[in-house]
Amino acid sequence: MINQQQAAAPVLAVSQLNVQYGAFQAVKDVSFEVHAGEIFGLLGPNGAGKTSTLSAIEGLLHPASGSITVAGFDIREQPLHARANMGVQLQATSFQPELTISEIIRLFASIYGVNLKDAAVKQKLAEINLEEASGKKISQLSGGQQQRVSLVISTIHNPQLVLLDEPTTGLDPQSRRQLWERMEHFRNNGHAVLLTTHSMEEAEAVCDRIAIIDHGRIIAIDTPEALIAQHRDDPAVLSVVRKGKVTLEDVFIGLTGTAVRS
Ligand SMILES: Nc1ncnc2c1ncn2[C@@H]1O[C@H](COP(=O)(O)OP(=O)(O)OP(=O)(O)O)[C@@H](O)[C@H]1O
Ligand SMILES: [Mg+2]
């Protein structure tokens, strides 16, 4: 059944995307859509092409071919409009080390053209339990705390689409749960989230739909439950089942193989 949100135009549409590094093709004919009110996960072994796909959407690299629209804006034809509608989680290392975190939040708000009053900055910091740390420099925070700041910054302009590359890697269980809740809150307000993850538990817990990408190609795309149901009796999946019950990880390894990637 198609609900109203899915019938509406997608927030992100990637069509026949190809990314090339010299002679090497990292992304091959990748197509998928992410809708408002959806958390979409991109899963794949190391080197599968996840970050390359995200970089193309973010406009950080020029794809060899294919089209990408964000909120209906083609990223090549109307890059500023497309970018105004997306939030990208930056690495903490890209922030100015000499500024305090409240200064960094204010700086990015002004870059995005958002007028943030002192009370609003405080509120943002309180949301990520870092109110006490507002005068600290980014380098004085732990990795997980830095990640929380960078998530706040990525959504400061209330974008329709948020792109998160392995957002929970290195987080403790509490911070991971808090980040899941923030993503769900964002989704429930009608936004769209695209994330990459190596955690099958995370994909099952928060993703409405996932795409499995391997060697640059999408090899499966569906809800986690449907993927498990579809492949439950697949001999390649059954050969890797560990504890009797078929999990998303079994399906993932069944489809992508047991070999560790170089
Ligand atoms: N700048 C680059 N120049 C050449 N090759 C690159 C470049 N960036 C990535 N690659 C190659 O493209 C392929 C896809 O890389 P990508 O970073 O997209 O993978 P990924 O799915 O994000 O992997 P991981 O899970 O390890 O983050 C890999 O084989 C990688 O070595
Ligand atoms: Mg990556």
Q: pLDDT digit string (tens) for 98-150?
A: 899 999 999 999 988 899 899 999 999 998 889 999 999 998 998 888 888 98
C-alpha 187/C-alpha 36 separation (Å) is 7
Q: Is residue 262 in a domain?
A: no
**Do 107 and 46 belong together in one domain?**
no
Q: Give pLDDT tens digits for 87-96.
A: 998 776 778 8
Residue of minimum CA distance from atom 2 in ligand 1: 21
Same domain, 1 and 72: yes
What pLDDT sits at residue 65? Answer: 98
Q: Verify whether ligand 1 is closer than 6 Å to residue 160 (CB atom).
A: no
* 16 CA distance to ligand 2 middle (Å): 20
Give the count of domains, the chain: 2
Q: How far is the CA of 27 from the centre of ligand 2 (A)?
A: 12
Structural domain boundaries enclosing 200: 1-85+161-173+191-222
* pTM for this model (two decimals): 0.91
Same domain, 2 and 81: yes
**131 and 120 together in one domain:** yes
Tokens 């769209």 correspond to 192
In terms of domains, do 111 and 216 share one? Answer: no
Contact 213, 30 (CB under 8 A): yes
53 and 73 in a single domain? The answer is: yes
Q: Is the CB of 216 under 6 A from ligand 1?
A: no
170 has a pLDDT exceeding 90: no
The dihedral of CA 104, 107, 111, 117: what is its sign? positive
Same domain, 24 and 146: no
Domain of 60: which CATH number? 3.40.50.300
**Comparing 63 with 128, which gets the higher pLDDT?**
63
Q: Is residue 11 part of a domain?
A: yes
Whether the pLDDT of residue 56 is over 90: the answer is yes
CA of 53 to the centre of ligand 1 (A): 10
Q: Considering the domain boundaries, does residue 78 fall inside one?
A: yes
pLDDT level of residue 238 (50, 70, 90 thresholds): confident
- Phi, psi dihedral angles at 93 (to 5 degrees): -65, -15
193-213: per-residue pLDDT in tens? 999 999 999 999 999 999 999
- Which of 27, 28, 46, 52 has the most ligand 1 atoms within 8 A of CB, as the residue to mutate? 52
CA of 26 to the centre of ligand 2 (A): 12
At 17 the three-state DSSP class reads strand
Mean pLDDT value across residues 181-203: 94
**21 and 49 together in one domain:** yes
